[in-house]
Structure formats: C-alpha cells, structure tokens
Chains A and B, each alone.
Chain A
C-alpha cells in the first residue's frame, strides 16, 4: 500500500464548529506532515511529526491542533476557525526522520487533500 488517504474530501463548517481532518498511511513512514494550500499559492508547511512527536510547528494558530495517535494516523483538530482558514489541507508522509538528510528518504508522499470551507 503506497497511498496516503485523507478524510473527508470536502468539509464545510461554521466558525463555532469543532471538526477533525484525518490522514492515514500504511507505508511504515515515521514522519508525517500537514500543509495548507490556498488558491494560486504553494503548499505551506504547518506541522511535522517525527516518530509520533511534534517536531515542527510553523507558528500555526492554536485553533489548529494536530494529533498523532500512532505511527499510521495523523489528525488535525479544528475549532473556532475563521473564513480565511478556508483552503486545501494536505497530509504527507516520508520514510524515516533519522534519514531525512539523505534526499531519497526525504521524498514526501502526499494525500489528495481535504477541501475546507469555513462559513
């Protein structure tokens, strides 16, 4: 299985809602990533988990709360979002954080994304 899956594909939520985005991979990868991508802009890194521990937080507002319950799963909990948070949220994984300085092992495998709309 060489796939990263994300659910849901689309999500519409109000500013007072609480929702979660889910990401799953079964490639044995030990690094997982959340990116945010707005129209006509490149994906921007939000969080990195290495060996189920948060290793990078790119100064993301606390209304986004990541969670890595095990090595295959990555969640992004959403609460009190703003309309400007509407975007495509991409999950990715890579093989081994300890080998991440070897470019081959730094290759990131992406999911198809969740299209989030905040009303």
Chain B
C-alpha cells in the first residue's frame, strides 16, 4: 500500500467544536489501519488499530470508522479541546510486508481556546 491520502492537510477549530478528517487508501490488499496521534516535541502515540469493514473504535472523545471496500477511514473528535492539537497520522498495513507501515502525511489539527 503506497498511496495514502489524508485530508485536510491542516485544520483549525474552536474549542468545543466537533471535527473529523479522512484517510484514504487503496482497498485492494488491505489488512489493517493504524491511527497515530503526534503532538509537537513528543513521540507519535498509537490511537487505534482497525481491521474489519464497518469497524468503529472509540477512545474518550476520539472515535474512528473504517470502510475497507471503498478504502477510507474517518477520525472524529467530539468537543475538541486545546490538548487535542496534534498531527493525526494514518498508516494502512498491507498483507505483504508484515512489519511495514506506510504513513500518510497527516492532518495537523489546531484547537483554539
């Protein structure tokens, strides 16, 4: 899986707004999708690993859905807070190279107080 698109590239929202962004990937040879959250000057942190079509995962105010047939995943943040400001990376994982993740360019989220 080489062609991973994330949109938008950056996003500015007000505190309390809900927001979402997209990861698109080729649906053939799909195996799993990883979402990572990367705050400035910190380590990327794993949020979710998703495998099944229709999967929905939730962690606090953050949730994600997966559509493997059409090749996309949405990440939702409900009631954004300034501490949600980070770059959100997705990394689809193909059935081929078992240890290899290919990251998208990320969506940089800024939540203004």
Contact = CB atoms under 8 A, between A and B. Distances in A.
A48 B101 CA distance: 11
A56 to B, nearest CB: 6
Interface in A63-119: 90, 92, 94, 97, 100-101, 103-104, 106-113
> How big is the A interface, by class?
20 to 34
- Interface SS of chain B: loop
Contact of A106 (B42, B93, B104): B93
Interface residues of B, number: 27
B43 A106 contact: no
B79 to A, nearest CB: 26
A4 interface: yes
Interface of B: 4, 31-32, 34, 36, 41-46, 49-51, 89, 93, 95, 97-106
